Amino acid sequence: MIDKLPLELQVELLRLAPSSSLKHINSHFYILYNNLYYDKIIATFGDDILRVLIKILPWLKEYIKSLDSFRRVSRTIIASRLHLDDGPSSHSISDQDKNNDDDSNPLHSIYIKDSWKYIYSILKNKRLFAEYSDYKIDEPSNYIYNHFVEINRTYLLSYTKTLWLAPGTYNLNIGLVVKHGSGLGTTKFEIKYQSEDSDPVIQTFYPQTNINDILPKQQFCLLKLGEINLPQKESVRVEGSQTGSHSKLYKVDFVMEEIGLYLKSGFRIFFIDIAQPSMLFNDYDLLYYTAKESDYRYFINIPLKNVYKALNYVQNGGGSSNNWSFQRAIQSYGEGDPNDISDQFDTTFLSIYSNPDDYNDEDEKKEIKEYSSFIYDEVSLMKYADFYFNNDFRNLYFKFQTVYQKRQFINRFGDFEIDWKSDSTSTNQIKKKFKRICSYDKQGLKWRIPIVGEL
């Protein structure tokens, strides 16, 4: 009977209880739930974000397609009922088309219209991967290699990145591997932006001074450094006022730098994570979590890195806007063309997953997906996705700020320490038969993708 209610009431029920099972009752509510994320994208980032999305479609579709390794069935439910296909490859969209479902709309396509929840998570969170142009470090003892930054006996460490964020609260995290580690505790992290009164605002964060002793060695850690707060803008609180992306977003300069003449050595930086609040870090006051692996391939998602590279380039108007005036940055928002840097996107990661024997005939060997100047092999992409999302890393160790929060977590989800110890002492064959005690994120997906969140 609930599906007989007026559509406005159905929408309101989903908004009031987004975590309920209502969205799973039937395909109608599941599609409606997905469409509400489209509305949330417009409300959060403004209408101009649609033009940005169209410009990054090739890289966005590649990443969303890779998620089929764990969500193909749920995505197909939406795509099949909406009769979606690959859609037009045009990089332009008219004002008339951008809010309707006409076939001329490039966003009315598979991997886009059936995936608004995951597209919202990409836009709301920002994962800053290692780019050579962003870092200033001593060379040749330090280098950016295979998508991470190796810090080895340096007194110079500086990183700057310009990005666009919606108002709200974010966790500032860093993903790294400490080998022996020294000097991390003397690193300063800053967020700079302009208030609506054009006053400069700076938020500064420091790791614990004994962080080198706290973090485990030779394994990946995601460490929380602090919380970023960007206030709601007065100019967009009134419904219908200033709907452009420029008025709704903050231009933020992120800076990481050494605060003294202290030697830094023995750690690798995989990425900086500016993420939505999460249950672990915010409800349970988590300091960090760690996994028993240090290979970057398990923690750096290359298709996602390509998406953020394209997104930042478009939003920053092409190139870096670090030294631009605020007004120039606002005027240039969304003007960048990622095809200008097409040679800088990484596709070599797919080569190790390519196997000619996987194709049945010569025509299939030649079959590739092509959007603009960006080309990828679908078979190799899905092999990579299976490796990244479906590998054997399921157990994490959680370090909480207090014993009380640790006990609260164990009481709710089970003892993760038993799983961790079993994972350390068991053979591979025993691990496959071992049933995890901790029920939190049993499939090991939450930490592999940007935080999705609810409506």
The pLDDT value recorded for residue 320 is 58
CA distances from 87 to 7, 17, 371 (A): 28, 33, 11
Residue 399 has φ and ψ, to the nearest 5°, of -110, 110
pLDDT of residue 155: 77
Q: Which domains does the chain have, with CATH numbers?
A: 2-123 (no CATH), 126-300 (2.60.120), 338-384 (no CATH), 397-433 (no CATH)
Instruction: Report yes or no: 372 and 339 within 8 Å, Cβ to Cβ.
Output: yes
Distance CA 396, CA 389 (A): 15
Distance CA 407, CA 430 (A): 28
Cβ neighbours of residue 196 under 8 Å, at least 6 residues apart?
A: 233, 234, 235
Is residue 413 packed enough to be buried (19+ CB in 10 Å), middle (13-18) or exposed (0-12)? middle
Q: What is the pLDDT of residue 285?
A: 95
Euclidean distance between CA atoms 422 and 100, whole angstroms? 53
Contact call for residues 252 and 163 (beta carbons, < 8 A)? yes
In 60-132, the DSSP E strands lie at 126-129
CA 131/CA 146 separation, integer angstroms: 10
For tokens 């394994």, the residue is 219
Answer whether 325's CB lies under 8 Å from 177's CB: no
Indicate the residue type of 126.
Answer: K
263 near 182, Cβ under 8 Å?
A: yes
Tokens of 336: 């960048």
pTM of whole model > 0.75?
A: yes
Using DSSP's 3-state secondary structure scheme, residue 89 falls into coil
Q: Are 182 and 170 in contact (CB under 8 A)?
A: no
Rounded to an integer, what distance in angstroms lies between the CA atom of residue 300 and that of residue 220? 11
- Extract long-range pairs of 377-380: CB within 8 Å, 24+ residues apart: 377/350, 378/65, 379/354, 379/355, 380/350, 380/351, 380/353, 380/354
Cβ(132)–Cβ(144) below 8 Å: yes
Write down the pLDDT at residue 92.
44
- Helices 302-315 and 116-124: crossing angle in degrees, nearest 10, is 70
- Please give the pLDDT value at position 281: 95
Angle at CA of residue 120, ends 376 and 197, nearest 5°: 120
Region for 412 from its dihedrals, namely left if φ exceeds 0, alpha if ψ lies in -120 to 50, beta otherwise:
alpha
State the Cα–Cα distance between residues 289 and 224, nearest whole angstrom. Answer: 9
Block mean pLDDT (10 aa), the chain, length 455: 86 88 91 95 94 96 96 95 76 47 80 97 95 72 72 82 95 93 84 92 91 90 96 65 63 89 84 95 96 92 96 86 60 90 85 55 42 65 93 87 96 94 65 74 90 85
Query: Is it true that the peptide bond before 6 is cis, omega within 30 degrees of 0?
Result: no
